[in-house]
């Protein structure tokens, strides 16, 4: 990637924001906001000159109302994503997480997490989202951050950065969505959903992963044959999780 300087412009595809909101919503449906939990995911995109492009958000994990931790499965998924992107024009461009009903801010723990992304990629950003504050057009419910100086480690200050959310019409975006899908990503999402509901339709998964009905059914059927979907059953385009 070379020695990049911080980006002069950050472009986030509107699909990314949709993905984050859908990921968050699945864990913020309880009427009691104390039961809302944080979610976390990573960004995939590319750097082009002094512009950071963020094309896709991949859900990774969820935790408690105040924090989250990677499990072994999430570490495996992260490594697989990193390896799959190794020889491509795409890379991990940072991460997102939520502060459900806790307002948008950047914590000391967030600084430490951001170090792992921005140290290797000066264009990597962190997005913090609070669904309770999502009241457009006055408040989008999220902000985007970077560290002032990653060389200062956990003592680095940080700042919010300007960004644009738009439909990035580039052939690379289409290539990314067609080429990089991870079975484990879908397995993780279904497992998370199984904690909240008894079934999920293929249609719902289409909206989350932007895959066709047939592509999703192929992935799910292959995983079921390998006994990777626990006791899930697929019938009439509905996956029964319990």
The two structure tokens encoding residue 209? 């992963």
What is the structure's pLDDT at 156? 95
The two structure tokens encoding residue 63? 């935790």
pLDDT at residue 186 is higher than 80: no
pLDDT at residue 194 is higher than 60: yes
Mean per-residue pLDDT of the chain: 82
Confidence of residue 163 (pLDDT cuts 50, 70, 90): very high
pTM, two decimal places: 0.75
Asked whether residue 162 falls in the same domain as residue 228, the answer is no
Residue 2 resides in a domain: no
Residue 3 resides in a domain: no
Residues 40, 41, 42, 44: is their CA dihedral positive or negative? negative
CATH code where residue 50 lies: 3.40.140.10
What is the structure's pLDDT at 64? 46
CATH code where residue 217 lies: 1.10.10
Asked whether residue 232 falls in the same domain as residue 147, the answer is no
Cβ count within 10 A of residue 147 = 26
Asked whether residue 106 falls in the same domain as residue 202, the answer is no
Give the residue numbers spanning the domain of 62: 9-175
To which H or E segment does residue 41 belong? strand 39-48
Asked whether residue 147 falls in the same domain as residue 50, the answer is yes
* 3-state secondary structure (DSSP) of residue 127: strand
Task: Provide the number of structural domains found in the chain.
Answer: 2
**CA within 13 Å, CB half, 122:** 16
Starting from the edge strand earliest in sequence, which strands make up the sheet with 233-235, in order? 199-201, 238-240, 233-235
Asked whether residue 167 falls in the same domain as residue 112, the answer is yes
């Amino acid at each position: 990637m070379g020695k990049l300087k911080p980006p002069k412009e950050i472009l986030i595809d509107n699909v990314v924001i949709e993905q984050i909101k859908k990921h968050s919503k699945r864990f913020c449906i309880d009427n009691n906001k104390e039961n809302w939990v944080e979610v976390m995911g990573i960004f995939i995109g590319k750097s082009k000159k002094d512009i950071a492009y963020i094309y896709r958000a991949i859900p990774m994990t969820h935790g408690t109302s105040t924090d989250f931790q990677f499990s072994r499965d999430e570490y495996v998924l992260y490594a697989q994503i990193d390896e799959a992107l190794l020889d491509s024009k795409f890379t991990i461009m940072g991460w997102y997480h939520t502060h459900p009903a806790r307002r948008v801010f950047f914590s000391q723990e967030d600084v430490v997490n951001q170090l792992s992304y921005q140290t290797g990629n000066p264009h990597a950003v962190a997005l913090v989202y609070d669904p309770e504050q999502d009241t457009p057009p006055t408040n989008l419910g999220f902000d985007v951050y970077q560290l002032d100086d990653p060389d200062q480690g956990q003592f680095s200050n940080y700042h919010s950065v300007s960004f644009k959310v738009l439909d990035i019409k580039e052939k690379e975006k289409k290539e990314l969505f067609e080429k990089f899908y991870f079975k484990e990503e879908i397995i993780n999402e279904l497992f998370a959903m199984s904690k909240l509901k008894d079934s999920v339709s293929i249609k719902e998964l289409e909206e989350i992963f932007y895959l066709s009905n047939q592509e999703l059914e192929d992935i799910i059927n292959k995983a079921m044959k390998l006994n990777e979907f626990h006791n899930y059953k697929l019938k009439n385009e509905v996956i029964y999780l319990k």
